[in-house]
Chain A
Amino acid sequence: MRNFFIGAAVLLALAAGLPALVKVEYYYVLGYTVLQLIILATAWNILGGFAGYVNFGSGAFFAVGAYTAVSLYKLVSLPLGLQVLAGAAMAGLLGLGVGLLTLRLRGIFFSIATIAITIILETVVLNWTYVGGAKGLPILRPTEVPLFDNYTQWLFFVMAVIAVIAVATARYIQSSWIGRGLRAIRDNEGAAECSGVPTLKLKLFAATVSGALMGAAGAPYALLGSFIEPTSAFSLNHAVNALAMPIIGGTAHWVGPVIGAVLLGTVQQVVTVTISSEMNVLVVGVLLVVFVVAAPEGILGLIKKFSGGKK
């Protein structure tokens, strides 16, 4: 327990101190991207990995966070911290709402609904002129940067804070009675209910927390590129990444999505820079297929298997 928090504090201190050593802005964009993937993957895993309810609509939750932040920024110039909170709140509400509508039913209905939600919300935003509609909306970054040399460094640090909160939340859920209840739901929902687990409440809780974290990840998105438009905000790539990274890393443990996201996020960035930006999607697709077929428990499962074999 204590080790985890010391580790988290050290990581945050490193993120805060990094600008003293590294000046090139690109590295912060890269770091931001990997952190964003860590948050999305960790958030997805709370519902998808722990409880076994697959969300194909991570893009919708991400975009709701992003557009909530953008609209409030445009409206009242809300500071970034509050944008993140507002984005998380809206996406959390969306998770709760979709959950209330579909989680009474078991199995795949939730997954289908998440796809539908993405399409519906994207259509709404495409026609919402206040935030730019289909043309998109250029965003001017605030001129004053708190604490850091430039705004990208500040965004990187904020993202690091959200990532630490996301991972700490997932870790807490996993090790608590909530996590055990979610696992019971994944293993056998009927038996879980008969063991006293309030399955609907727990699923709603997981959907809300998962959605909120995805929304938080999306909130600073527009400020990173100084621009937002619906196609990239709602992109299927968010959903594919959020689902592929936990599956590749391992869904049973909070560290699985982190491993998957760091590994894949780095590979994707390297591929984007050295080969082409289209190629990085292919890398994820191929790896996902390989892992689902050959190592369904992900990298964590492989580690367990090989360390178990040696004993």
Chain B
Amino acid sequence: MTSLLEIQGISKNFGGFTALESVSIDIQKGERFGLIGPNGSGKTTLINCVSGALANDSGSIRFGGEEISRLPAYQRTRRGIARSFQIPRPFASMSVLENLVVPLEYVVHRGSLHTADTRSEAMEILRGMGLADKAETQSNQLSQVELRKLELARAMAARPQLLISDEAMAGLSSNEISEVLEILFKLNAAGITIIMIEHIMQAVMKFSQRVVCLDAGKIICEGTPQSIVQDPGVQRAYLGA
């Protein structure tokens, strides 16, 4: 397997607070990768640095061999990194379908625009997510689980190679969790590399091939899901024991 995303020694400070301290992670093409850690451990900061919402202070981020750490976020999306947001951020004035048309127009079909094509393509993605019957619904009318699915659907509309799912399951019921998990498995089977950030352990354990645990901005453990839960450092970070 080849590396898709190479994060090397990146650090991020907010004033005097160190959110990330020389974190290095290599993610392989097609991998299902889990990122865990207690609240405030730097998970979201890390993926904000990868997706471009924040600029890392030092270190390098390479995607498909290309240095991307100084590119604006939209350029990274166009290169194949898509993300969902922890707290859903729908384009509230638009219908569910239109939410997907935005990345389709700005990433996939830049320059050659055919409204009819993007709409049918958006519909196709919505079908895959089980949101087809909500296509014309205003996106601020959706339920929590539908909003999470919309987040994933919109990310997928950018046709990414790498999908970063930021706590897509927080606050969902166990049925809904399996539903979202199933979607993520399906996307991975279609060849998309996935980074899952999650607090819900059984979901991470079931989904990930490899897991990294962050604590206070540093990687404290890396390994298979089974080895991670037995690691004393991880147990201490999570249980405070």
Which chain A residues have a beta carbon within 8 Å of chain B's beta carbons?
A: 177, 180-181, 183-184, 186-188, 190-200, 252
Contact = CB atoms under 8 A, between A and B. Distances in A.
A187 B53 contact: no
B78 interface: yes
Closest 6 interchain pairs by CB? A196-B107, A196-B106, A187-B91, A191-B89, A195-B103, A193-B73
Contacts of A199: 74
Nearest to B48: A190
Nearest to A197: B106
B51 interface: yes
Interface of B: 51-53, 72-74, 77-78, 82-83, 85, 89-94, 98, 101-103, 105-107, 113, 154-155, 157-158
Given A180-B98, A180-B101, A190-B53, A195 B106 contact: yes
Contact of B90 (A181, A188, A193, A252): A188
A192 B85 CA distance: 12
B91 A196 contact: no
A221 B94 CA distance: 39
Contacts of A187: 90-94
B53 A194 contact: yes
7 contacts: A180-B101, A181-B102, A181-B106, A183-B91, A193-B72, A193-B73, A199-B74
Contacts, number: 79
A167 B52 CA distance: 36
A192 B113 contact: no
B90 A196 contact: no
A66 to B, nearest CB: 35
Contacts of A195: 74, 77, 102-103, 106-107, 154, 157-158
Contact of B93 (A183, A191, A196): A183
Contacts of B91: 183-184, 187-188, 191-192
Contact of B83 (A177, A184, A194, A198): A194
A187 B85 CA distance: 14
Nearest to A193: B73
Contact of B106 (A177, A188, A190, A200): A177
Given A177-B106, A181-B102, A194 B90 contact: no
Contacts of A192: 91, 102
Quick one: which of A177, A191, A198 has the most chain B CB within 10 A? A191
Contacts of A180: 94, 98, 101-102, 105
Contacts of B92: 187-188
Nearest to A175: B115
Quick one: which of A197, A200, A252 has the most chain B CB within 10 A? A197
B82 A194 contact: yes
Given A190-B53, A197-B106, A252 B93 contact: yes
A64 B170 CA distance: 53
B176 to A, nearest CB: 22
Nearest to A188: B89
Nearest to A176: B113
Nearest to A186: B93
Nearest to B77: A196
Quick one: which of A190, A200, A252 has the most chain B CB within 10 A? A190
A197 B89 CA distance: 15
B72 A196 contact: no
B89 A196 contact: no
A197 B74 contact: yes
Nearest to B92: A187
Contacts of B90: 187-188, 191
Quick one: which of B78, B92, B103, B157 has the most chain A CB within 10 A? B103
Given A180-B94, A195-B107, 13 more contacts: A180-B102, A181-B102, A183-B91, A186-B93, A187-B92, A187-B93, A188-B91, A193-B73, A194-B73, A194-B77, A196-B77, A197-B74, A198-B72
A265 B98 CA distance: 35
